[in-house]
Structure 1
Amino acid sequence: MIEAYILIQTRAGTARDVAAEVSAVPGVLRAKAVAGPYDVIAQAEGKTVDDLGRLVIARIQQVEGISRTLTCPVVEL
């Protein structure tokens, strides 16, 4: 499995709702509202990098309230 953290910026006042909706997306392990330059951080996984990309583009980025995402794949050193 390919794992990644998705850093999410949201419109003002939507972080809690975005975190709840993103956490319900299949393939997302957890999503939490946070303080700082990003409003929500999600941990997700997919069988391949392509699957992970489709998860972010087709499912996560479609959640109402999200303005920008940054996907950070986990690397095993």
Structure 2
Amino acid sequence: MVQAYILIQTEVGHASEVAGRVRDIPGVDEAHDVTGPYDVIVQARADDVDALGSLVVARIQRLDGIARTLTCPIVNI
């Protein structure tokens, strides 16, 4: 199991809408609209790194209103 934080920059005025749509995607545990350099922070999980990449590229980045994403895998030590 791989977990990650996905930081999302949205187009102006789309943060709440994007957060709501991202919450409905299987594999997404939480999505919050926030202030700062990113507009939405997502916590997600997948079976492996390849599946995580597919979640981000095929499901999240394709949503309208998203300008850019940054995926930060969680490292458990």
TM-score, normalised relative to structure 2: 0.99
- Distance in 2 (CA, whole Å) between partners of 1:64 and 1:29 is 20
- Distance in 2 (CA, whole Å) between partners of 1:38 and 1:49 is 23
* 1:55 partner SS: helix
Q: Which residue of 2 aligns with 1:20?
A: 20
2:68 counterpart of 1:68: yes
- Distance in 2 (CA, whole Å) between partners of 1:55 and 1:6 is 11
Mapping 1:1-77, distance limit 5 Å: 1-77=1-77
- Distance in 2 (CA, whole Å) between partners of 1:35 and 1:70 is 16
TM-score, normalised relative to structure 1: 0.99
Q: Percent identity at matched positions?
A: 58
Matched length: 77
Deviation at 1:32, TM superposition (A): 0.4
- Distance in 2 (CA, whole Å) between partners of 1:50 and 1:12 is 30
- Distance in 1 (CA, whole Å) between partners of 2:29 and 2:45 is 7
Instruction: Identify unmatched segments of 5+ residues in structure 2.
Output: none
**Deviating 4+ runs (over 4 angstroms):** none
